[in-house]
Amino acid sequence: MAMLKAGDKAPDFSLTDQNGDTVKLSQFKGGKLLVYFYPKADTSGCVKQACSIRDAAPDFGGLSVAAVGISPDKPDKQKKFDAKYSLGFPLLSDVDNSVAKAFGAWGEKKMYGKTYEGIIRSAFLIDENSVILNVWYKVSPADTASNVMKALS
List, as one string, the DSSP characters of 96-136.
T-HHHHHTT-EEEEEETTEEEEEE--EEEEE-TTSBEEEEE
d(CA 151, CA 12): 23
29-61 pLDDT, tens digit per residue, is 989 999 999 999 999 889 999 999 999 998 888
Q: Is the pLDDT of residue 2 over 80?
A: no
Q: Is the pTM of this model over 0.85?
A: yes
| Across 32-36, 110-114, 128-132, least confident range | 110-114
Task: Look at 116 and 89; give whichever has higher pLDDT.
Answer: 89
Task: Look at 61 and 72; give whichever has higher pLDDT.
Answer: 72
Q: Is the pLDDT of residue 62 over 90?
A: no
d(CA 103, CA 123): 10
Catalytic residue, candidates 41, 46, 70, 139:
46
Is 46 labeled as catalytic in the residue annotation?
A: yes
CB atoms within 10 A of CB 19: 12
Specify the CATH class of 14-152 in words: alpha beta
Res. 135 pLDDT band, cuts 50 70 90 = very high
Per-residue pLDDT at 110: 79
Q: What percent of the chain is modeled with pLDDT above 70?
A: 99
**Buried residues in 31-43 as b, exposed as e (16+ CB within 10 A):** ebbbbbbbbebee
Per-residue pLDDT at 1: 55
Region 126-137 average pLDDT? 96
Per-residue pLDDT at 79: 97
Per-residue pLDDT at 44: 87
Per-residue pLDDT at 116: 83
Q: Is the pLDDT of residue 26 over 70?
A: yes
Q: Which residues contact residue 81 at a Cβ distance below 8 angstroms, ignoring those fewer than 6 apart?
A: 18, 41, 42, 46, 50, 73, 87, 91
